[in-house]
Structure 1
Amino acid sequence: MAGIHFTEGAEKYLADLLSKQDSTGIGIRVFITQPGTPYAETCIAYCKPGEEKPEDRLMPLDSFNVWIDAVSEPFLEDALVDYATDRMGGQLTIKAPNAKVPMVNDDSPLNERINYLLQTEINPGLASHGGEVKLVDVVEGGVAILQFGGGCQGCGMVDVTLKEGIEKTLVARIPELTAVRDVTDHTVKENAYY
């Protein structure tokens, strides 16, 4: 099975750590935070029986179970968990060469490509103001309808951010798009409530 590989040393080290926990049947869970983005971090956590998620995939090792997070799994392709000894004792290392690789390309559906750019390039910038933006829909004429949340909602600078920042980035990177609108843009009348 492709995917994540544990070296013998890593398995032995983790088995030893798990044996010191006061829970029978404890395993580990592997997941990536912000997979497919420059901020991806590969994480290993203790996983007591019942703590795994229903969509996790079980990967049984000789001495314990590994639960692989379903969303992270494609990004864990060719990942290696190793235990390297050094003068100070040793440390567990995780190399996941595909953790930061986007799972989108020019053939991916339009909404996936838009969401990817929002998550990797737009939202990290808005996060410093406690804000975020998400895609609601793409309507006729290649117009992306976005919804602002958090610190952006009700901010007087939303229009500037939308036109100068987000629209320029998205339209430049995604040829099918012609414009970007805020979901609360009152010039868009199709969905207006009367």
Structure 2
Amino acid sequence: MAGIVFTQAAEDYLADLLSKQDSEGVGIRVFITQPGTPYAETCIAYCKPGEQKPEDELLKLDSFNVWQDAVSVPFLEEALVDFATDRMGGQLTIKAPNAKVPMVNDDSPLNDRINYLLQTEINPGLASHGGDVKLVDVIEGGIAILQFGGGCQGCGMVDVTLKEGIEKTMVARIPEINGVRDATDHSVTENAYY
């Protein structure tokens, strides 16, 4: 797996911006807010000497240092920072395909594999009804405890969705899972989808 990559155009653009800072040794810090969620945002900020955190990972480019937030590093796999010129001058772009969900494989921790499946395959279908589901825990016997939210909470079809859709998919795709259980209080029906 390749971590975050800066194109030469992006490095040149950022080096020019950093050269205009009033202190020496300014680098950049890359982090993701709410990593691993549908709301993840990839951010780049100036990082003056001493502002980096001890657990940050250092990436040395030719022109400056890049400090990567330790929690964000797995979500920055295959990220690309580029700069494209246009009539207005140009634009820095950050493509981080794993910001919302980290890359997983058969060796990844069980919770990561379950969350990846929920975010990439199950929640997109539930989103059409304004709903979502998240993992609460995995208990003895390979039972995944799930929490429904949004339009799924209080929906009369949630049992069918759970057993016919989510459970069948999870059992088929994740060998350690033998079933799923709902931890949601479905007596709250204000936002339920009907």
Q: Return the offset for 1:117.
A: 0.8
Q: Return the offset for 1:61.
A: 4.3
SS in 2 for 1:12: helix
* Structure 1 residue aligned with 2:190: none
Distance (Å, rounded) in 1 between the aligned partners of 2:125 and 2:115 = 15
* Structure 2 residue aligned with 1:4: 4
Deviations 1:53-110 (A, max 9, x none): 6643233546544222334424545655444557775554557687799532223333
* Structure 2 residue aligned with 1:28: 28
Q: Return the offset for 1:163.
A: 1.8
* Structure 2 residue aligned with 1:114: 114
* Structure 2 residue aligned with 1:46: 45
Q: Return the offset for 1:43.
A: 3.7
Aligned residues: 183
Q: Return the offset for 1:13.
A: 1.0
Return closer, same or farther for 1:22/1:169 CA change in 2, 3 Å cut-off. farther
* Structure 2 residue aligned with 1:153: 153
SS in 1 for 2:169: helix
- Is 1:125 matched with 2:114? no
Unaligned runs of 5+ in 1: 186-194
Return closer, same or farther for 1:77/1:175 CA change in 2, 3 Å cut-off. closer
Return closer, same or farther for 1:104/1:80 CA change in 2, 3 Å cut-off. closer
Q: Return the offset for 1:170.
A: 1.0
Per mean C-alpha deviation after superposition, the further-off stretch among 77-86 and 153-162 is 77-86
Q: Return the offset for 1:165.
A: 1.9
TM-score (norm 1): 0.64
- C-alpha RMSD of matched pairs (Å): 4.2
Return closer, same or farther for 1:100/1:178 CA change in 2, 3 Å cut-off. same
- Is 1:181 matched with 2:172? no
TM-score (norm 2): 0.64
Deviations 1:153-183 (A, max 9, x none): 2333322221222112112212332321102
Structure 1 contact 32–40 (Cα < 8 Å) conserved: no
Distance (Å, rounded) in 1 between the aligned partners of 2:130 and 2:70 = 28
* Structure 2 residue aligned with 1:190: none
Unaligned runs of 5+ in 2: 186-194
- Is 1:15 matched with 2:15? yes
* Structure 2 residue aligned with 1:134: 134
* Structure 2 residue aligned with 1:104: 104
Structure 1 contact 6–80 (Cα < 8 Å) conserved: yes
What amino acid is the match of 1:149? G
